[in-house]
């Protein structure tokens, strides 16, 4: 690869990684990051230079900026948000779509969980949600469809094995609700999503964009997802509902609301996704980045006397949810004097109470407060 890039003006590194980084001489380096969970993207952003970094969401932009500046390992380049393009298309291939989904009964309520087997994607939560949903809806048969590779191939510890999923289903006595079926090909996803009643995204995984709920809305199916990571950026889209992570009853209520939504709301959501997240807009964004001029580094510093709510956190009542701990944190004394809303700052010079200062330090240690970037 090194020889092929010697005369290049621009080198684009999709999902930049330490392992494929030779010396690109004087070429303009544009990289994209599509998660901020796995070590490849974390190390890339912290250790490797680039002229421009492309990310798919405002959430990821703020998270990367804050992390890199706080690390003090290098100066920050321009970080540009280009949302992923979301497309939907029908295909004549339907072999992986479950037969019972294609020939559903009028009494069926089909809930789709189209996620990989990562333990933080919310498999257990989905099963518990549908169990409670069935107990609340007597006139429908709740069926939770989950695609999966039907084998026990070696997986890393972050993912369930097929036998583990079966064990969870048996332990929770939900075999009458859950249906595992063969994994889907990419070109089958749109049709699959269009055949469900609701798509759910109940996990704690820190999403960097939110492709599944957007694809669902585009397919005309409402989606209910956890208020985690970049999924929070999608609040307000018609047909897309948010619930705090871990709130099983809240998910049940939102699913009931979603299945009763009027068609005009679903149409508005579909139009929104087609307009804001079009393939054409994504291509135009990359074209502008490839041909545009950007500052290679931006000198950003930390104001240690002013603190803000970390971009990977949000306020929920008297609690602060942290995406990376997957927990709600509570700072009762600090909560009395600071709103924790985005854009507001804590001026440390104005506080002298030992109790409040102790909570401020605790919030910093737990990653909920970060210094203001200037």
| b/e 74-87 (16+ beta carbons within 10 angstroms → b) | eebbbbbebbbebe
Q: What's the pLDDT score for residue 184?
A: 83
Please indicate, yes or no, if residue 244 is contained in any of the structural domains.
Answer: yes
Q: Residue 274: is its pLDDT beyond 80?
A: yes
Distance CA 339, CA 140 (A): 43
pLDDT, residue 156, reads 67
Q: 95 Cβ partners below 8 Å, 6+ apart?
A: none
Predicted local confidence at residue 90, as pLDDT: 52
Cβ–Cβ under 8 Å, residues 204 and 228:
yes
Last residue of a domain, one of 276, 311, 340: 276
> With 80 as the cut, is the pLDDT of residue 259 above it?
yes
Banded model confidence at residue 339, pLDDT cuts 50, 70, 90: confident
pLDDT band (50, 70, 90) for residue 117: confident
For residues 80 and 107, membership in a common domain is answered with no
Are 270 and 355 part of one and the same domain? no
Weakest-pLDDT range from 5-14, 314-323, 350-359: 5-14
| 167 and 52 both lie in a single domain | no
Regarding whether 328 and 241 lie in a shared domain, the answer is: no
Alpha helices in the chain (DSSP H): 39-47, 58-71, 99-102, 123-136, 162-171, 189-194, 211-218, 248-259, 263-276, 279-291, 332-337, 354-365
Starting at the edge strand found earlier in the chain, the sheet holding 302-309 runs 346-347, 302-309, 369-373
What is each CA distance from 347 to 79, 151, 307, 352, in whole angstroms? 28, 55, 7, 11
Does 126 reside within a domain? yes
One domain for residues 203 and 63: no
Encoded tokens for 21: 């980084």
| Of the residues 206, 241, 276, the one at which a domain ends | 276
Residue-wise pLDDT for 226-249, tens only, equals 999 999 999 999 999 999 999 999
Which pLDDT band holds residue 104 (cuts at 50, 70, 90)? confident
Q: Say if residue 145 is in the same domain as residue 261.
A: yes
Beta-bridge partners for 315: 320
What pLDDT is attached to residue 344?
Answer: 86
Q: Which three-class secondary structure state does DSSP give residue 134?
A: helix
- Write the pLDDT tens digit of every residue in 163-221: 888 899 999 999 999 998 888 888 888 889 998 999 999 999 999 999 999 999 999 99
Asked if 192 and 231 sit in the same domain, the reply is yes
Please name which of 255, 278, 264 lies closest in space to residue 196, comparing C-alpha atoms: 255
Cβ atoms 342, 368 nearer than 8 A: no
Claim: this prediction has a pTM higher than 0.75: yes
Same domain, 325 and 258: no
Helix/strand/coil (H/E/C) assignment for every residue in 247-258: CHHHHHHHHHHH
d(CA 258, CA 265): 10
247, 266, 291: which is the final residue of a domain?
A: 291
In a domain, 297, yes or no: no
In a domain, 91, yes or no: no
**Overall number of domains in the chain:** 3
> Is 90 within a domain?
no
Mean pLDDT of 247-261: 98
Supply the DSSP string of 154-218, one letter for each residue.
---TTB--HHHHHHHHHHTT-TTTEEEEEPPPGGGHHHHHHT-SEEEE------SS-HHHHHHHH
* Residue range 8-65, pLDDT digits in tens: 788 888 887 666 666 666 778 899 999 999 988 999 999 988 899 999 999 999 999 9
| Pair 287, 308 in one domain | no
Total residues belonging to the chain: 374
pLDDT of residue 94: 43
Decide if pLDDT at 296 tops 70.
Answer: no
Helix (H, G, I), strand (E, B) or coil at 44: helix
Q: Measured between alpha carbons, how far is residue 161 from residues 112, 114, 288, 308, 310 in Å?
A: 19, 16, 43, 40, 34
pLDDT digits (tens, 9 = 90+) for 130-163: 999 999 998 999 999 998 876 655 566 778 888 8
Please tell me whether residues 119 and 205 are part of one structural domain.
Answer: yes
- Please tell me whether residues 307 and 332 are part of one structural domain: yes
Q: State how far the Cα of 243 lies from the Cα of 201, in Å rounded to an integer.
A: 10
- Whether 83 and 281 have beta carbons less than 8 Å apart is answered as yes
Specify if 69 maps to a domain. Answer: yes
Of 80, 101, 106, the residue nearest 144 (C-alpha): 101
Q: By C-alpha distance, which of 51, 44, 126, 54 is closest to 83?
A: 54
80 part of a folded domain: yes
Reading the block at residue 234, the tokens are 């999608």
Residue 63 placed within a domain: yes
pLDDT tens by residue, 81-97: 999 999 876 544 444 56
Domain containing 181 equals 99-276
Q: Please tell me whether residues 204 and 338 are part of one structural domain.
A: no
């Amino acid at each position: 690869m090194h020889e092929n890039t010697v005369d290049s003006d621009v080198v684009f590194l999709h999902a930049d990684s330490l392992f494929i980084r030779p010396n690109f001489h004087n070429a303009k380096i544009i990289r994209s990051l599509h998660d901020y969970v796995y070590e490849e993207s974390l190390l890339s952003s912290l250790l490797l230079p680039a002229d421009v970094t492309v990310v798919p969401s405002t959430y990821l932009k703020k998270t990367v900026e804050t992390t890199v500046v706080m690390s003090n390992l290098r100066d920050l380049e321009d970080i540009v948000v280009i949302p992923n393009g979301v497309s939907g298309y029908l295909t004549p291939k339907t072999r992986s779509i479950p037969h019972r989904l294609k020939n559903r009964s009028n009494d069926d309520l089909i809930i789709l969980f189209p996620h990989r087997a990562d333990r933080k994607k919310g498999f257990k939560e989905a099963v518990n949600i549908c169990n409670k949903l069935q107990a609340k809806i007597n006139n429908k048969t709740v069926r939770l469809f989950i695609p999966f590779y039907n084998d026990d191939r070696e997986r890393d510890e972050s993912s369930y094995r097929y036998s583990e999923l079966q064990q969870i289903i048996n332990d929770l006595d939900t075999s009458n609700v859950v249906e595992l079926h063969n994994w889907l090909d990419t070109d089958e996803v749109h049709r699959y999503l269009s055949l469900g009643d609701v798509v759910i995204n109940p996990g704690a995984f820190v999403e960097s964009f939110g492709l599944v709920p957007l694809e669902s809305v585009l397919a005309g199916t409402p989606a209910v997802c956890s208020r985690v990571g970049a999924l929070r950026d999608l609040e307000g889209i018609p047909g897309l509902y948010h619930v705090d992570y871990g709130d099983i009853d809240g998910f049940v209520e939102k699913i009931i609301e979603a299945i009763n939504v009027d068609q005009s709301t679903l149409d508005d959501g579909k139009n929104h996704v087609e307009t804001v997240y079009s393939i054409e807009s994504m291509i135009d964004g990359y074209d502008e980045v490839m041909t545009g001029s950007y500052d290679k580094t931006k000198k950003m510093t930390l104001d240690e006397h002013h603190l803000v709510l970390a971009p990977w956190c949000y306020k929920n009542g008297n609690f602060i949810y942290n995406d990376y701990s997957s927990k709600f944190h509570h700072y009762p004394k600090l909560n009395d004097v600071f709103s924790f809303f985005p854009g507001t700052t804590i001026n440390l010079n104005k506080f002298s109470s030992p109790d409040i200062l102790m909570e401020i330090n605790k919030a910093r240690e737990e990653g909920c407060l970060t210094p203001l970037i200037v």
